[in-house]
């Protein structure tokens, strides 16, 4: 389902947005989002996020439903004088179609409400049909009637250039566990990735989690997780060697997401691995080796862990741990099938109909042990969440770290930190629970940045094929609004199935750009559909906070090839002052994308060390002033998809010779300022050395 853009500008008042926040927005544009703004109560959740529109003149809509033979639409609209309130809108369908919402402004008070319902038949995918004893809870693979060339930029010079140097630099890794003939559900997620400096030499090392097969264990194939240590002299020489065996992390598992953090504040970064099975916690011994402390820390959760992130969530000076769990699944469950053009095809099952696993929050006690505080902290939700990615960051600028979780086919979570390790789930109230179509999406990856430099952090979430990736733009009054179409991110994403995603200023022009990893979970390419299995990866150029332009086509050979993109992490891998990418795939080798883009300015790389708080202030925000530009930047804590990125912060400085002002909000809420930091170098800023 998709909404076409209208262009509607009017005085607007949003009532009941959230208690205590002035409920006013001066104008509202692109009324394909109006359905969500008018009513996020479409599922009847009482007293949560009911929006009403007050306009200077009545506004009417034509709703057109196309390209489906068996869809139905139910709607109830209330028009009272100059008030238009959508009291309920419910859309049900057996396969995905298109719903067009067209705004009309009536300047005369005519009691007219027009609906146009146009239904045309198309052939497409059917819901999986069951046989006795067989599961059918798979997602539907949509048939897309779209010009796929529209997902690529026209042939013009790209502001970005990347070169894949994985092989020549020594990163020789291909994820083990590509789909078997049995199409087990656990095979489709791919492995995780981490960029972190585990040996303290100021060069990024790489951890890549590997996969397996249920019926062909990885131990038999000799495949295992990899730890690549940087051995070259940077930035001139980038070289890695696999030291997983010597370091003690060469295990064979269904590896998923990776989290990095110095949990005991000893100066050495530790490693947490999610798996389909028991998770693992490795303590960095400081001598190039790791010790398994899973049992002693009490963090060995044996559910299907997808992603994790460290952050000082209670402000007590050490890093706590959040684990996003997925669904209940057993390889003994019945298989799933999809019927396309009368042909019945076995596929991996989807999350629909499966019981969601509860996420976990582990409090760091500071004595080597963690305690499960999930219930007391407010993390346990009635229906669970089917989590795939987690981002820890102070979204509302109150000095406390919040938690955003991307959930697959269920509402996303936004846990607002109330202090004292108490959280309130407010995703629906604040407008980030569902997508632009007003329904839960197959959310997989997360990116967070202040894309338009207005001092507010925005969220970008990747979704399934035929559903736009969601851009949640934060409002001054609080809450978020989806602005996919206005920013040019709607039609470019609908043909794609997206996983990992990264915000980074790739050309140092002081506007954060966007990378999206794409690739399907089902190979239906030979069945007469327009479905693509392997897909091109995407780079979006930030046009000064107004729109994003897809410039992938001419950004290098990697972006002209197709992959099953999965986890992606960002960091200054070659220490030359700009952001590089490490991207993983199924079937094909991982890519180390060295950034060779023409730079539009200079940069400073920052590393922070806490003394009173955690040694690594993960998830904290910076306010940086260079010249006449003010930026809000984030120290990464989770995000993307099953990934952990470089915790060092690259500050694009333009043509400035120094950072005039830098203010860091530490995890305990205290703020510290540094002034007049020269650029073109790395600074290590220790808590207490500023003002």
Joined together, the tokens standing for residue 79 give 């028009």
Mean predicted confidence (pLDDT) in 182-210: 95
Q: What is the pLDDT of residues 462-508, one digit of tens each?
A: 999 999 999 999 999 889 999 999 999 999 999 999 999 999 999 99
Lowest mean pLDDT among 18-27, 225-234, 470-479, 622-631: 18-27
Q: Is residue 80's pLDDT more than 80?
A: no
* Average pLDDT value for residue range 631-654: 97
pLDDT at 682 over 60: yes
* pLDDT above 90 as % of the chain: 68
pLDDT at 14: 28
Q: For residues 100 and 4, is the Cβ–Cβ distance under 8 A?
A: yes
pLDDT score of 550: 97
List, as one string, the DSSP characters of 279-323.
-EEEEE-SSS-EEE-HHHHT----SBEEEEEEE-SSSSSS-EEEE
pLDDT exceeds cutoff 80 at 552: yes
Q: pLDDT grade, residue 169 (50/70/90)?
A: very high
Residue 682's alpha-carbon distances to 267, 424, 519, 631, 677, in angstroms, are 18, 38, 36, 18, 10
Cβ atoms < 10 Å from Cβ of 286: 12
Q: Alpha-carbon distance 626 to 259, whole Å?
A: 32
- The continuous run of DSSP H or E covering 519 comes out as none
Given a contact cutoff of 8 angstroms between Cβ atoms, the answer to whether 540 and 514 are in contact is: yes
State what percent of residues in the chain have pLDDT above 70. 77
Average pLDDT of the segment spanning 283-311: 96
Over 80: is that where the pLDDT of 75 sits? no
Query: What pLDDT does 71 receive?
Result: 32
Q: Higher-confidence residue: 515 or 524?
A: 515
d(CA 209, CA 275): 9
Q: Let me know: does 100 contact 118? Beta carbons within 8 Å.
A: no
- What is the per-residue pLDDT for 179? 81
Quote the pLDDT of residue 155. 54
Mean pLDDT within 599-624: 96
Summarised one tens digit per residue, pLDDT across range 303-361 is: 999 999 999 999 999 999 999 999 999 989 999 998 887 888 999 999 999 999 999 99
Residue 420 neighbours by CB under 8 Å, 6+ apart = 314
> Over the chain, what is the mean pLDDT?
81
Mean per-residue pLDDT for 18-30? 29
C-alpha closest to that of 426 among 464, 393, 381, 482: 381
Query: Model's pTM, two decimal places?
Result: 0.80
Report d(CA 197, CA 194) in Å as an integer: 10
The pLDDT tens digits of the residues spanning 85-138 come to 333 333 332 333 333 333 333 223 233 333 323 323 333 333 333 333 344 343
pLDDT at residue 101 in the model: 36
Q: Is residue 20 scored above 80 in pLDDT?
A: no
> Whole-angstrom Cα distance, residue 433 to residue 416?
13
Within 13 A of 291's CA, how many CA atoms are on the CB side? 10
State residue 588's pLDDT score. 96
Q: Are strands 538-543 and 513-518 parallel, antiparallel or unpaired?
A: antiparallel
């Amino acid at each position: 389902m998709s909404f076409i853009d209208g262009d509607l500008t009017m005085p607007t008042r949003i009532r009941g947005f959230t208690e205590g926040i002035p409920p006013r927005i001066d104008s509202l544009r692109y009324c394909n989002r109006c359905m969500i703004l008018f009513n996020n109560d479409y599922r009847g959740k009482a007293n949560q996020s009911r929006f009403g529109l007050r306009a200077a003149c009545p506004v009417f809509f034509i709703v057109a439903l196309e390209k489906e033979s068996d869809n139905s639409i139910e709607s109830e609209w209330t028009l009272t004088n100059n008030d238009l309130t959508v009291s309920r809108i419910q859309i049900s369908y057996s396969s995905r179609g298109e719903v067009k919402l067209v705004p009309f402004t009536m300047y005369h008070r005519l009691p007219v409400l027009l609906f146009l319902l146009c239904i045309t038949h198309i052939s497409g995918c059917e819901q999986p049909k069951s046989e006795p004893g067989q599961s059918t809870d798979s997602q539907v693979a949509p048939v897309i009637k779209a010009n796929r060339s529209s997902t690529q930029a026209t042939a013009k010079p790209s502001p970005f250039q990347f070169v894949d140097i994985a092989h020549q630099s020594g990163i020789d890794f291909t994820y083990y566990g590509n789909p078997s003939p049995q199409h087990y559900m656990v095979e489709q997620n791919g492995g995780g990735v981490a960029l972190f400096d585990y040996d303290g030499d100021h060069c990024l090392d790489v951890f890549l989690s590997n996969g397996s097969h249920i019926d062909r264990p990885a131990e038999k194939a000799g495949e295992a997780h990899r730890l690549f240590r940087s051995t070259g002299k940077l930035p001139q020489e980038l070289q890695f060697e696999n030291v997983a065996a010597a370091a003690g992390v060469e295990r064979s598992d269904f590896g998923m997401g990776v989290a990095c953090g110095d949990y005991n504040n000893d100066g050495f970064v530790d490693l947490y691995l999610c798996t389909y099975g028991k998770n693992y916690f490795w303590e960095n011994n400081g001598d190039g080796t790791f010790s398994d402390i899973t049992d002693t820390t009490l963090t060995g959760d044996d559910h299907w862990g997808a992603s994790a992130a460290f952050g000082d969530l209670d402000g007590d000076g050490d890093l706590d741990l959040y684990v996003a769990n997925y669904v209940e699944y057993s390889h003994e469950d019945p298989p799933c099938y999809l019927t396309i053009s009368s042909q019945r095809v076995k596929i991996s099952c989807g999350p629909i109909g499966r019981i969601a696993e509860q996420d976990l929050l582990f409090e760091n006690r500071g004595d080597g042990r963690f305690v499960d505080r999930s219930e007391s902290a407010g993390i346990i939700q009635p229906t669970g969440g089917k989590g795939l990615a987690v981002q820890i960051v102070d979204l509302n600028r109150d000095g406390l770290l919040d938690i955003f979780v991307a959930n697959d086919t269920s509402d996303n979570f936004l846990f607002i930190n109330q202090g004292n390790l108490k959280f309130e789930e407010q995703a629906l109230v604040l407008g980030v629970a569902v997508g632009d179509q007003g329904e839960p999406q197959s959310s997989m990856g997360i990116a967070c940045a202040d894309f338009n430099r207005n001092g507010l952090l925005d969220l970008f979430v990747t979704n399934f094929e035929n559903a736009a990736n969601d851009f949640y733009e934060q409002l001054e009054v609080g809450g978020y609004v989806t602005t996919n179409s206005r920013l040019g991110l709607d039609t470019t994403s609908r043909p794609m199935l997206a996983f990992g995603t990264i915000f980074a200023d790739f050309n140092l022009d002081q506007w954060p750009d966007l990378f999206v990893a794409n690739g399907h979970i089902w190979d239906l390419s030979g069945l007469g559909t327009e479905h693509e299995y392997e897909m091109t990866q995407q780079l979006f150029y930030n046009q000064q906070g107004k729109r994003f332009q897809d410039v992938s086509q001419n950004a290098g050979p990697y972006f002209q090839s197709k992959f099953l993109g999965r986890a992606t992490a960002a960091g200054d891998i070659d220490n030359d002052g700009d952001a590089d990418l490490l991207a993983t795939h199924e079937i094909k080798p991982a890519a180390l994308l060295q950034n060779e883009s023409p730079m539009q300015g200079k940069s400073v790389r920052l590393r922070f060390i806490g003394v009173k708080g955690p040694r690594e202030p993960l998830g904290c925000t910076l306010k940086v002033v260079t010249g006449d530009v003010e930026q809000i930047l984030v120290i990464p804590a989770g995000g993307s998809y099953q990934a952990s990125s470089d915790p060092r912060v690259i500050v694009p400085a333009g043509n400035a010779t120094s950072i005039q002002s830098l203010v860091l909000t530490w995890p305990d809420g205290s703020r510290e300022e540094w002034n007049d930091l020269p650029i073109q170098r790395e600074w290590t800023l220790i808590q207490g050395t500023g003002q």
